[in-house]
Amino acid sequence: METVNIKINGADIAAPKGSTILEAARLAHIDIPTLCFLKEINEIGACRICVVEVKGARSLVASCVYPVNEGMEIWTNTPKVLDSRKRTLELILSDHDKKCLSCVRSGNCELQTLSKAFGIEDDSKFKGEENHFEVDYSAAHMYRDNNKCILCRRCTAVCEKTQAVGVIGPNERGFKTMIGSAFDMGLGETSCVSCGQCIAVCPTGALTEKDMTKEVFAAIADPKKHVIVQTAPSVRAGLGEEFGYPIGTNVEGKMVAALRHLGFDKVFDTDFAADLTIMEEAHEFLDRVQNGGVLPLITSCSPGWVKYCEHYFPDMTENLSSCKSPQQMFGATAKSYYAEKMGIDPKDIYMVSIMPCTAKKFEIGRDDQDATGFADVDAALTVRELGRMIEKAGINFLSLPDEEFDSPLGMSTGASVIFGATGGVMEAALRTAVETLTGEELPSLDFTEVRGTKGIKEATYNVAGMDVKVAVASGLSNAKELLTKVKNGEADYHFIEIMGCPGGCVNGGGMPQVPGNVRNYTDVRALRAKVLYDLDSSMPMRKSHENPAIKELYDNFLGKPGSHKAHELLHTTYVKRTVN
């Protein structure tokens, strides 16, 4: 690798040729502050927080876009630099809603953190005209408050580049500039897929999920309600971050204990329904292969991806698996099988899900998601909302002893826990489909070719003399690339897994928010995914079809995978939507 020799704050540094000052500074153990910068996504030098002095330059330069060259001398913390950053922050705050006490991001806001570091008072010295925007509540999963927006454009970059949706962007000009949709449509009127990746990268409280914790607290307090909670695989890999644990910490036991302390009647694991999903999806895949069904079969676990398909690839909705997502399968099973077993009227069951995904809030309101005549799931909360509930209830999360899920809907396998990582659904399905097709036990359960955070992965497996071609994509821009090749006849697969969020559910729009200066240089997705793969490798059961609770469900209630009753409860339909 070719390098150039530079000086940063007097220290000699050999930096890779072509790197920026921001990147080179990290080699000198210096983190230059940023607000708009997202590595490889939003490198626009817009916020001017990262300015530095360069010898010979006529003015301060934005370090995130300024390349280094041989002999360059740079200073990152001179009075001139520090004064410029402070003044920029004050100007941003002069047109910013500073109601920090009630803001959902207080204590985890990148603007607030920088303001504290630079000693800025709440009452900005730059007083004058201020913008006042109506808050957009039109979407099912989130709201947008432009009064807290700093025009960093991270949200627009991730929406367009990472997710290939692009329904938001800067409207108006100059002082009146605001982030919005075309023709001032509310977000809920657009082709937004509810993935929440814009929320994940927002540095302030301008974008946040619609909070449903008030309704959940009310249900728990209602003596007539039997309140059940289910938690998705990724939640155990992310919840700890809300309480100061390092990224990649498994807090499953404390999570279960906290949910019991909150007052839920039963604490179950969505992993049970992930195993159930595999039973139905593997059966559907084999049925399509053997009986000339529509191929490739494409997974339907990710509601953000499903809505993207409905909007942008409506002619491929027939390729989607008819299986409901694990969240919805769990709700349908709880309000039928569990209700019957426990002698509870389904109308009295209030089902809460804890999800890494904001699109789950949209999913619970979809048509054909009420198998028992009642909504499969009543409330879908993000990991962040659960963190706030635990904090509000005064539960000391760090000191909680580990507890286990309730049975029988808390029993699961290693195949189900890896659902949270890109490639996990494919690997889990292959474990069951291959053994079902061959009638033989797999010598190895690890399909490593479909693992990892790469955006698109392909593999071919010889099963019973047939080459089964599979592909995995995460992040909707990668999904677009893959499906375009399929449509154009440039690629041919039997089975495709698609996750709406890059890296899968471990990087979902409802997971704990990670500051830009961490997100840019830490593989958050891999750290969280490792939790799930470690759990899988340590579990006594690693194949969905070996789960005794699943066997009992089929033996005593559903009959067999793909049965009429299974279709009534566990399968759904899709809509061909337009693009707005």
Same domain, 177 and 237: no
Domain final position from 38, 73, 92: 92
Same domain, 222 and 370: yes
Q: What is the pLDDT of residue 121?
A: 80
Q: What backbone phi and psi angles, to 5 degrees, belong to 505?
A: -65, -25
Total domain count for the chain?
Answer: 3
CATH label of the domain that carries residue 24: 3.10.20.740
pLDDT (tens, 9 = 90+) of the chain, 580 residues, equals 899 999 999 999 999 999 999 999 999 999 999 999 999 999 999 999 999 999 999 999 999 999 999 999 999 999 999 999 999 999 999 999 999 999 999 999 999 999 999 999 866 678 889 999 999 999 999 999 999 999 999 999 999 999 999 999 999 999 999 999 999 999 999 999 999 999 999 999 999 999 999 999 999 999 999 999 999 999 999 999 999 999 999 999 999 999 999 999 999 999 999 999 999 999 999 999 999 999 999 999 999 999 999 999 999 999 999 999 999 999 999 999 999 999 999 999 999 999 999 999 999 999 999 999 999 999 999 999 999 999 999 999 999 999 999 999 999 999 999 999 999 999 999 999 999 989 999 999 999 999 999 999 999 999 888 899 999 999 999 999 999 999 999 999 999 999 999 999 999 999 999 999 999 999 999 999 999 999 999 999 999 999 999 999 999 999 999 999 999 999 999 999 999 8
| HSE, side-chain direction, 13 A CA sphere, residue 127 | 4
Q: Domain span at residue 248?
A: 214-570
Cα 23 to Cα 499: distance, rounded to the nearest angstrom: 30
Same domain, 111 and 86: no
Q: What is the pLDDT of residue 125?
A: 77
Cα 363 to Cα 360: distance, rounded to the nearest angstrom: 5
CATH label of the domain that carries residue 165: 3.30.70.20
Q: What is the pLDDT of residue 463?
A: 87
Contact criterion met (CB below 8 Å) for 511 and 234: yes
Same domain, 160 and 244: no
Flag whether 576 is in a domain: no
Q: Which of these, 417, 429, 423, 482, lies nearest to 448 by C-alpha position?
A: 423
Same domain, 128 and 185: yes
Pairing type for strands 178-180 and 266-269 reads unpaired
Flag whether 578 is in a domain: no
- Cβ-count burial of 102 within 10 angstroms (0-12 exposed, 13-18 middle, 19+ buried)? exposed
Same domain, 299 and 199: no
Same domain, 114 and 37: no
- The angle at the Cα of 249, spanning 246 to 253, to the nearest 5 degrees, equals 135
Flag whether 376 is in a domain: yes
Flag whether 579 is in a domain: no
Flag whether 575 is in a domain: no
**DSSP letter assigned to residue 464:** T
Same domain, 230 and 189: no
CATH label of the domain that carries residue 457: 3.40.50.1780
| Ramachandran region, residue 135 (left: φ > 0; alpha: ψ -120 to 50; beta: rest) | beta
Sign of CA dihedral 497, 502, 504, 505: negative
Same domain, 78 and 53: yes
Flag whether 577 is in a domain: no
Q: What is the pLDDT of residue 126?
A: 84
Domain final position from 167, 184, 209: 209
Q: If you search the block for the tokens 């195949």, which residue do you land on? A: 415
H or E stretch at 227: strand 226-231
DSSP per-residue string spanning 325-378 = PHHHHHHHHIIIIIHHHHT--GGGEEEEEEES-SHHHHHTTSTT--TTSS-S-S
Dig out the tokens for 276 from the structure. Answer: 């159930």
Q: What is the pLDDT of residue 464?
A: 84
Domain final position from 25, 59, 92: 92
Q: What is the pLDDT of residue 343?
A: 97
Q: At what angle do helices 252-262 and 383-392 cross, to 10 degrees?
A: 60
Cα 414 to Cα 433: distance, rounded to the nearest angstrom: 16
pTM of the model: 0.96
